[in-house]
Amino acid sequence: MSWTLRSLLLLTLSPLFGGCAAPRLTGPGVPRHYAQAMDSATSACLRNPSCYMVPPGEDAIIPGLARALEAVRTVSAVVRLLEAAEVARVEQVLKDCANESSLKVDEQWLGKGKRPTRQICQQTYETDARGNKVTWAMHLGREKHRVALECVHRELGEKLAEHVSLQPQYRYHQDPRHLELRDPRQVAEWLRDGLYGMLLGTLIPDVVVHAAGDPLRVQMVFDFKFPCPSSNSPDWYLYPPNHPYRGSNQGQVYKQAFNLERAIRIAPGYGAL
């Protein structure tokens, strides 16, 4: 096979055969308290470096152009997105899990029937290892994220595992526009070593609906929001002036990065926004 034909087929087949090992419904990826530090509290740190898709090897190169093109057509035919009813099922599970986790966490930390007041939300819960103040709003928020993601995993189970990823980690390059998956093992290593700057600009949506086995072919993006107190609006996080996405909020960046008409917030008492 000529080098030119070989290169063409590699480019054609790579998106179809290159399954990336992003965390799906095998459980939450990086713990949400890291994501809080990036997307909510400091917005500076969580998501990381380079697509680790394994390029197709010799076995992916089929001798003969006709057979190669037929393989492309066959693989394309089996890659499907979720139907509208299935997406609606996912959305309902997320809304139920948001309500359940909010109630459960509030009662666990504040007492039966109790809800956080504005005063409680602003109080300091702890100071982390880096000397950053963690408020009760942040603490309750990350606990609710953790419980909500456990709920999603439990309720959706294996049926939609190929189509739903929990907190996959992406790196989005704006110019030129390019989206990559981060290796969660590399993310964990940087977090362990305190190399938070390496994570600047990483996107970690809570729940991503995508083509079967391919988190880069995104169909829908959902983010849980747990305002504290609950009377606050569940707004998208606004990136600060020193951030690569400065001037935009999370929802705007999600839409641009994943080429979507909208990204959806899920909040207890509000539903899907």
70 within some domain: no
**Encoding tokens for residue 7?**
């290169």
pTM passes above 0.85: no
CB atoms within 10 A of CB 172: 19
Domain count, the chain: 1
pLDDT > 90? residue 266? yes
**What's the distance, Cα to Cα, between the start and end of the chain in Å?**
52
96 within some domain: yes
pLDDT in tens, 217-250: 999 999 999 999 999 999 999 988 888 888 899 9
- Helix residue ranges, H only, the chain: 3-17, 32-35, 65-78, 84-110, 118-122, 136-156, 184-193, 250-258
31-35, 93-97, 211-215: least confident range: 31-35
pLDDT > 70? residue 141? yes
- Whole-number pLDDT of residue 129: 80
Q: Quick one: average pLDDT of 4-14?
A: 34
Q: Could you tell me if 158 and 140 are in contact, meaning their C-beta atoms sit under 8 angstroms apart? A: no
Residues 15-40 as b or e (16 or more Cβ within 10 Å = b): bbbbebebbbbeebbbbbbbbbbbbb
- Please tell me whether the peptide bond between 229 and the residue prior to it is cis, using omega within 30 degrees of 0: yes
15 within some domain: no
48 within some domain: yes
pLDDT > 60? residue 263? yes
pLDDT in tens, 61-91: 233 333 333 433 444 445 678 888 999 999 9
- Whole-number pLDDT of residue 79: 63
191 within some domain: yes
147 within some domain: yes
62 within some domain: no
236 within some domain: yes
Tell me which residue range forms the domain holding 238: 22-52+81-272
* Average pLDDT of the chain, as a whole number: 74
**Encoding tokens for residue 73?**
């057509």
- Collapsed DSSP state (helix, strand, coil) of residue 144: helix
